[in-house]
């Protein structure tokens, strides 16, 4: 029962991410991408797009700048407020993409488990197809080599940063979440007096 409740909340969590993805997808169908420039209504005077000049500045000098991509996400999409005491208003664009996400999920499962198995063929393979296209596109862009070399050399001094270990711990808990899905999916086949504790430890 507890696993089913946790899965319910996880589904709500992930459906919101799907809604954000759909919003980003629809926003990309523009000749001029909204996160490429600083001329939108939500941009601030500190908005910056020229990363070549920014890379030559010190950390203290760049503290007053925010890139256009981050402002698109925080100020354009989410319209983040200063805190919980200021809830803001309903973002109708996100509300519609959230509704669309729930509709997509409904049509994926409305004919039962047999139909869901067929949907998985597309949902499991299509991301790899898209990632392959993005890989080819990415490595052909100017500065791709510099971007790749930024990630390859290890920075062992980051191991002294507590935030790195916190992020690693968070990822471990997400990895453990894979077992949760197995328990929920296979739990319906159990006998009434099945030893669920043993199954949980095995998974």
Of 54, 84, 89, nearest in space to 70 by CA: 54
At residue 150, the pLDDT reads 84
Instruction: Give pLDDT tens digits for 121-172.
Output: 887 888 899 899 989 988 898 888 888 888 888 888 888 989 889 988 888 8
Instruction: Give pLDDT tens digits for 171-202.
Output: 887 776 666 666 666 676 778 788 878 877 77
The CA dihedral of 166, 167, 168, 172, to the nearest 10 degrees, is 100
In DSSP terms, which residues pair with 189 in a beta bridge?
Answer: none
The whole-number average pLDDT for the span 31-48 is 85
> What ranges in the chain are assigned the alpha helix state H?
2-27, 51-54, 59-62, 68-71, 92-109, 113-139, 144-151, 162-187, 196-202
Distance CA 7, CA 2 (A): 9
The whole-number average pLDDT for the span 106-117 is 75
Distance CA 100, CA 108 (A): 12
Distance CA 23, CA 94 (A): 7
Q: Is 47 helix (H, G, I), strand (E, B) or coil?
A: strand
Q: Which residue has the higher pLDDT, 19 or 186?
A: 19
Residue 88 tokens read as 């803001």
What's the pTM value of the predicted model, to 2 decimals? 0.64
Average pLDDT of every residue of the chain: 81
At 65, which helix (H) or strand (E)? none
């Amino acid at each position: 029962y507890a696993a089913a409740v946790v899965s319910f909340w996880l589904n709500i969590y992930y459906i919101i991410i799907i809604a954000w993805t759909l919003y980003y997808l629809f926003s990309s169908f523009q000749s001029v991408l909204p996160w490429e420039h600083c001329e939108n209504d939500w941009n601030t005077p500190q908005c910056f797009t020229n990363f070549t000049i920014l890379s030559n500045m010190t950390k203290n000098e760049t503290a007053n700048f925010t890139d256009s991509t981050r402002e698109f996400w925080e100020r354009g999409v989410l319209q983040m407020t200063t805190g919980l005491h200021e809830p803001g208003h309903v973002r109708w664009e996100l509300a519609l993409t959230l509704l669309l996400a729930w509709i997509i999920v409904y049509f994926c499962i409305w004919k039962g488990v047999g139909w869901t198995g067929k949907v998985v063929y597309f949902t499991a393979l299509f991301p790899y197809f898209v990632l392959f296209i993005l890989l080819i596109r990415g490595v052909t862009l100017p500065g791709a080599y510099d971007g790749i070399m930024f990630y390859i050399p290890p920075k062992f001094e980051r191991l002294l940063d507590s935030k790195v270990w916190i992020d690693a711990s968070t990822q471990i808990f997400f990895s453990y979440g894979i077992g949760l899905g197995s328990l929920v999916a296979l739990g319906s086949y159990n006998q009434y007096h099945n030893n669920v504790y043993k199954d949980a430890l095995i998974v």
